[in-house]
Amino acid sequence: MSSNFIDLTSELEASYSINIWRKEINPFVRFGFLKDSKFEKLFDDLPSDSERSGTIQESNPDVQTEQSPKKDDTNIDEEEEFSIRSNNQSYHVEFFNLILQKIKNQPDVFDVCFNDTEKNTFRTFKELSPDCQELYVRLFQRKHTWIKEEKIKYDNINNPNCLKLLTNEGFLQNETSLKKLDEIINLLSLAEARSLIADFKMGKNNLSKSEIKETLQKNCKKQKTLFGSMEDIVIKKAKKMLGKCVLIEQSHSAIFSRMLTLFQMFISLFASDNNNILYHLLQVKIKQIIYTKYEVCDNSYLKSIFQSRESFTYYTEAVNLSDEFNILVESNSFEDAFVLYAKAFKKLKDSNIHCREDLPGHLKRYTAYYIFLRICRSSVTVLEKLKKYKEAVELIDFVLASPLIHAKHRGELWERKIIDCEKHLKNLELAHLSVEEAIKEPMVRGYWLYVFKQRLSRMEKKSKKKKGTDDNMFELENYKKVPIELLKATALLDTSSAHRAVFMSPSSSGGNIMSNVENLVLETYKAKGFVGLHHEGSTLMTLYVLLFWDIIFMNVDGVFLSEYQNAPLDMFTDDFYVKRKDDLDERLHFVYTATKQEIAEKLTKSWNENYQSNVACCNWSIFPSVQEAIDLTLCLKPKVLGGICEVYAKDLRSRMSGFPDLILWNLQTKSCKIIEVKGPGDKLSSKQIVWLDILQFLGADVSVCHVTGIGSKRKFVATQEV
């Protein structure tokens, strides 16, 4: 392993043999799954049940299923001694210095990304006393605004002395740099601000902070004195009341921010802010977060991304702009977000920022061009919120022209364009043309094809357009009727809305309990001898990860650039299957043809070797032990398990949602049911319709269960065609 800083870094009918199934028009082809030759058909035949006779006992399997390693329930609070002080340093300073040192240990990258002045800042920081380092890191993690010294309180740190030293070294600014009246008023308490305005007799003593600022600024502009501007006099008086205060020096903090940005580029964080990375490393150290083992690539890939300091500067600028843009969108500040979008769009036109065709597809995401393009993609919503629909359509066309946009987002963008053209711009011809273009686009697949074909069918019925001879590709496929189940229960709350429906459900321990629709169905089937889980697609995705663990984390060039990844960098791209085609095809053949014993052994090995590892799409809390996972595979038909794994192996990102709510199995009858539950007023989404069709094609026992409240006034239609 390299030592670079990133190193911290009912089964298908018997007449359907597998070869016939592969040659038919199946969901993989139907939804654009095999549009490319790289997704070629895999296997010629499937062994009969007699050839697959190996079985295992449910309750006492031949496979040695060791007891799962006990989860480390260590709480951060129980690690108080370490978290506060470890080698005379808090974890903040320990990992801050660790990150800095690891970056410096890679001179090829360090020399490109940081100039001499910035290196000198790092050097000066390392020469600071431990207390000064800790105080700076603590302040760096706080919001970078002015702070009154009296509010800076950390145990075991000589705050006044350290603040003075940090100011002298240029890491902090003191109150002498505080010159804006509104900033000073913000730092004063309300009582102090009222006292200030009373001293100058400029207003009433019951004003709010905002009113005080407005009054002071208004009067300072009007009044003149013999001793200078009135504003200067007010500021002098206010600063005397304020006392000492400090502010993080922006030029220095920007250098450390770029350091953390560089370090955490490939790390699987739950948040991207600088504060989180230090705490994340602490969690890893005390084993609250565990990463599986894999071989980390050398730093040549990072060097290929940042070939110059300018490229790294553009990247950090893009990251900062993206973070700020996301905050504004989340707070519904669309006017301000529009300003940032304009900046990002302008950057994309800069000749110095371009798409890096020399990089592998999964690494292009770590370039300034991609991040600015991502901001523009997200800005479609901003333009629509501002009712700039014509500009939104133009932006969609611009973004769709880039091959970097993933198939999932391409479908979303096409849909937004169609809706904007049809509903807002009233350009029905362009909307109709856009639907046809979306269907023809090779990158549009999965449920999006169903959505667009369904929309085109509605458009043609509405316009009474006659189909031409070249319209076969636009035909909406016929989907099998999904079996419908009806369940009635006593409603405790109004059942006119699925989001508020609460029912009386029988409890396994006796009596009744309040329950939502999913738990109601689970309890109903539990009484029939079934074991069930309500985790939608997470259940099967976890089985997929366990069965394909070694392939997911196999050594592939350029996909593991940090020791803290929960997945290879290309896992959610088409390249994941392409780069591992032979291995994935072999494992898929194994899942289709293996005995139950062999499947159990594979699950047990992955479970025991990697239990509780932080891995994408693997939810350890679903199964209490590996035995429950094995029990489920005993009841799943090989064709169903293999088919679902094939879907995930080839198109995981587009298939992560829409899977039915419940999966239930009965060990005595070796049966398994997959159920989508619908409450009053709830309907199947397009994603769910596509998944239900795939599962039916694979031979799964799948159904839609409609739950209605006894006495509900809402009428229920007992047949539904999907």
Ordered structural domains, the chain, with CATH: 85-251 (no CATH), 283-462 (1.25.40.10), 477-536+657-721 (3.40.1350.10), 538-571+581-650 (no CATH)
Q: What's the pLDDT tens digit per position in 651-682?
A: 999 899 999 999 999 999 999 999 999 988 88
Least confident of 73-77, 369-373, 377-381, 573-577: 73-77
Q: Rounded to two decimals, what is the model's pTM?
A: 0.82
Q: Which of 162, 155, 154, 140 has its CA nearest to residue 247?
A: 140
Cross-strand partners of 707: 487
Amino acid 478: pLDDT: 67
Amino acid 366: pLDDT: 93
Backbone angles phi, psi at 650, to 5 degrees: -100, -25
Rounded to the nearest 10 degrees, the angle between the axes of helix 428-440 and helix 407-419 is 160
The HSE-up count of residue 513 (CA atoms within 13 Å, CB side) is 13
pLDDT band at 590 (very low <50, low <70, confident <90, very high): very high
DSSP state of 403: T
Proportion of the chain above pLDDT 70, given as a percent: 80
pLDDT band at 509 (very low <50, low <70, confident <90, very high): low
Amino acid 681: pLDDT: 82
Q: What's the pLDDT tens digit per position in 259-314?
A: 999 998 888 755 444 447 888 999 999 999 999 999 998 888 888 999 899 999 99
The DSSP-derived string for 14-82 is TT--HHHHHHS--HHHHTTTTSSGGG----S----TTTT-----SSS-SS--PPPPPP----GGGGHHH
pLDDT above 90 (res 446): no
DSSP state of 479: P
Amino acid 711: pLDDT: 55
pLDDT band at 199 (very low <50, low <70, confident <90, very high): confident
Instruction: Write out the two tokens for 649.
Output: 């192996």
Q: How many CB atoms lie within 10 A of CB 554?
A: 16
Q: How many residues does the chain have?
A: 722
Amino acid 260: pLDDT: 93
Q: What's the pLDDT tens digit per position in 633-643?
A: 999 999 999 99
Least confident of 54-68, 211-225, 579-593, 671-685: 54-68
Backbone angles phi, psi at 476, to 5 degrees: -85, 120
pLDDT (mean) for 149-160: 84
The HSE-up count of residue 117 (CA atoms within 13 Å, CB side) is 5
- Residue pair 686/457 in contact by the 8 Å Cβ criterion: no
pLDDT band at 572 (very low <50, low <70, confident <90, very high): very high
Distance CA 380, CA 621 (A): 37
Cβ partners under 8 Å of residue 441, min gap 6? 410, 414
Name residue, tokens 């592998």.
360
- Give all strands of the β-sheet with 531-534 in edge-to-edge order: 484-490, 701-710, 671-678, 662-666, 531-534
Name residue, tokens 């969108």.
329
pLDDT above 60 (res 36): no
Distance CA 552, CA 222 (A): 70
pLDDT above 80 (res 197): yes
Distance CA 482, CA 722 (A): 7
- Residue pair 402/355 in contact by the 8 Å Cβ criterion: yes
pLDDT above 80 (res 6): no
Least confident of 52-61, 209-218, 521-530: 52-61
CA-angle at 508, arms to 505 and 511, nearest 5°: 60
CA distance to 55, 372, 396, 643, per residue, from 420 (Å) = 56, 23, 11, 37
CA terminus-to-terminus distance, the chain: 52
Q: How many CB atoms lie within 10 A of CB 19?
A: 13
Q: What's the pLDDT tens digit per position in 310-330?
A: 999 999 999 999 999 999 999
pLDDT above 80 (res 34): no
Q: How many CB atoms lie within 10 A of CB 637?
A: 18
What residue type is assigned to position 536 of the chain?
E
